[in-house]
Amino acid sequence: MTRLRRRRRPDAGRPRVLIIIQNLHVPFDRRVWLECGSLRRAGYDVTVVCPRGKDSLPYEVIDDVAIHTYRPYAPGGSALGFVLEYAYSFLATAWLVRKARRAGRFAVLQACNPPDIFWPIARWLRLVDGTRFVFDHHDLCPELYESRFADGARLPLRGLLLLERATFRTADRVTSTNESYAAVARERGGKRAEHVTVVRTGPDPDRLRKQAEDPGRRRGRDHLVAYLGVMGPQDGVDLALAAADVVVNELGRDDIAFTFMGAGDSYDDLVAERDRLGLGDAVELPGRVPDAYVADVLSTADVGLCPDPRNPLNDVSTMNKTMEYMAYELPVVSFDLRETRVSAADAAVYVRPNEVDAFARAIVDLVDAPQQRAAMGRYGRERVEKELAWEHQQHGYVGVFDELTDELAASRGTSAREG
């Protein structure tokens, strides 16, 4: 990637697109960064507003994408903490949107969730500039609340449903990550079917591919099992750790090493639990790691883990890690979730949801079946290349913006490339 600090002058011949994201920064968010690249190659001028990452600048240009960032604020994982975080993020985002708009009006705004709070900005830009609004539907916020706070108050849930409804009603188009989410957009959101497009978060098979193994990643053991992803209460890494405990301490498999890569609200608790279980030698928890580290681990591993428990959110969500494992030719062990079956098909072994012992034994069975692992890995890679890769998804995604900018140009009596 090419990074520049100087301010980029928008190209008057290209329609401007603004992308807002709150829960990750770019280019770390792989889906949004792929979207940025596709829009840029299709002739759009792309600007992003997002929280600042560890290595981010307040303003920079990366691969011709202008990025405005604000200092993140995360007061904690409680319900009140989320309210404070989202209120702060909304105000910081609104300020940067006003700043970015000084260079010219935006043809299209895309807001990614969670959270569902940016529809007032979309309405303001529509009022002053006629900007169209695309809702990039990454998560189901009401179900996310129910999954994280199973015994939580009902008032926040009703509030989240109202915010979701306002977002859907404001959106001119919705891009959903899978068919289950698209059904929510149509049924709960009231969107017309022709205004909802499924755009899966397909991996880039040219960038994500198996490399030479690094035997040192096994830390002196014969086999390596990997996890890659967020470590929050709803992500099931605690279940993967419990399964590792069964594998090592109950089944006596001291030939299997585990590496769990990622960070999140549960990370510190997971480290403490690993040490309490006496798994310090068997389970590595390096936190959030560079891409090269991920590539080394996934190229060496024998199995990839999807321990997401069945809950109102996970059963209908597409897990990006599933397809990244498949891109690296890794067979997957997963709890039996509806959308995970859609993504992985025969590249995964499915066990009864939330049952740790069954998950552990599925890991061991797959480790001990090298021919099965190889066949599943080949199938998964082929599925990525022929069906799931971003190159197959981007056409529908860019088509949404082409349609909206053509409509906008017609309403203004200009050509689409005049902005």
Q: Are both 114 and 136 inside the same structural domain?
A: yes
Encoded tokens for 283? 């389970």
From the number of C-beta atoms within 10 Å of its C-beta (0-12, 13-18, 19+), residue 6 rates as exposed
Q: Is 331 helix (H, G, I), strand (E, B) or coil?
A: coil
* Domain assignment present for 29: yes
* Domain assignment present for 10: yes
pLDDT in tens, 127-141: 999 999 999 999 999
Task: Compute the distance between CA of residue 157 and CA of residue 135 in angstroms, rounded to an integer.
Answer: 20
* Domain assignment present for 324: yes
Q: Are both 371 and 393 inside the same structural domain?
A: no
Q: Are both 311 and 395 inside the same structural domain?
A: no
Task: Compute the distance between CA of residue 246 and CA of residue 267 in angstroms, rounded to an integer.
Answer: 20
Q: Are both 371 and 247 inside the same structural domain?
A: yes
* Domain assignment present for 207: no
Which pLDDT score, from 0 to 100, does residue 289 have? Answer: 93
Encoded tokens for 286? 């390096």
DSSP labels for 306-329?
E-PPPSTTGGG---HHHHHHHHTT
Task: Compute the distance between CA of residue 341 and CA of residue 349 in angstroms, rounded to an integer.
Answer: 10
Contact by Cβ (8 Å): 236, 308: yes
Domains: count for the chain: 2
Return mean pLDDT, the chain.
93
Encoded tokens for 174? 């919705």
* Domain assignment present for 378: yes
Give the count of beta carbons closer than 10 Å to the beta carbon of residue 369: 15
* Residue 150, domain extent: 3-202+389-418
Which pLDDT score, from 0 to 100, does residue 89 have? Answer: 96
Contact by Cβ (8 Å): 7, 96: no
Which pLDDT score, from 0 to 100, does residue 410 have? Answer: 83
DSSP labels for 85-101?
HHHHHHHHHHHHHHHHH
Residue 5: pLDDT over 70? no
Question: Token match 């059904």: residue?
Answer: 183
CA distances from 143 to 164, 317, 342 (A): 11, 10, 20
Task: Compute the distance between CA of residue 387 and CA of residue 392 in angstroms, rounded to an integer.
Answer: 7
pLDDT in tens, 202-259: 888 999 999 999 999 999 999 999 999 999 888 999 999 999 999 999 999 999 999 9
Q: Are both 121 and 56 inside the same structural domain?
A: yes
Nearest to 12 by CA among 45, 59, 47: 45
CA distances from 225 to 13, 54, 328 (A): 50, 28, 13
Encoded tokens for 124? 């303001």
pLDDT in tens, 66-77: 999 999 987 766
Neighbouring-strand partners of residue 18:
47, 109
Q: CATH no. for residue 322? A: 3.40.50.2000
Give the count of beta carbons closer than 10 Å to the beta carbon of residue 281: 12
Q: Are both 127 and 17 inside the same structural domain?
A: yes
* Domain assignment present for 189: yes
pLDDT in tens, 350-382: 999 999 999 999 999 999 999 999 999 999 999
Global confidence as pTM: 0.86
Q: Are both 183 and 279 inside the same structural domain?
A: no
Which pLDDT score, from 0 to 100, does residue 170 have? Answer: 98
Q: Are both 43 and 164 inside the same structural domain?
A: yes
> What are the phi and psi torsion angles at 362 (to 5°)?
-65, -35
From the number of C-beta atoms within 10 Å of its C-beta (0-12, 13-18, 19+), residue 248 rates as buried
* Domain assignment present for 280: yes
Q: Are both 268 and 383 inside the same structural domain?
A: yes
Of 86-95, 142-151, 172-181, the least confident: 142-151
| % of the chain with per-residue pLDDT over 90 | 81
Q: Are both 65 and 174 inside the same structural domain?
A: yes
Q: Are both 125 and 257 inside the same structural domain?
A: no
* Domain assignment present for 394: yes
Mean pLDDT of 378-402: 96
Which pLDDT score, from 0 to 100, does residue 144 have? Answer: 86
Task: Count Cα neighbours of 132 within 13 Å in the Cβ-side half-sphere.
Answer: 24
Task: Count Cα neighbours of 29 within 13 Å in the Cβ-side half-sphere.
Answer: 24
Is the bond preceding residue 27 a cis peptide, omega within 30 degrees?
yes
Q: Which residues contact 414 (CB under 8 A, 6 or more apart)?
A: none
Q: Are both 151 and 219 inside the same structural domain?
A: no
Which pLDDT score, from 0 to 100, does residue 417 have? Answer: 47
Residue 419: pLDDT over 50? no
Residue 24: pLDDT over 90? no
Q: Is 383 helix (H, G, I), strand (E, B) or coil?
A: helix
Pairing label, strands 108-112, 132-137: parallel
Residue 414: pLDDT over 90? no
Residue 7: pLDDT over 90? no
Q: How far is CA 274 from the centre of its chain?
A: 26
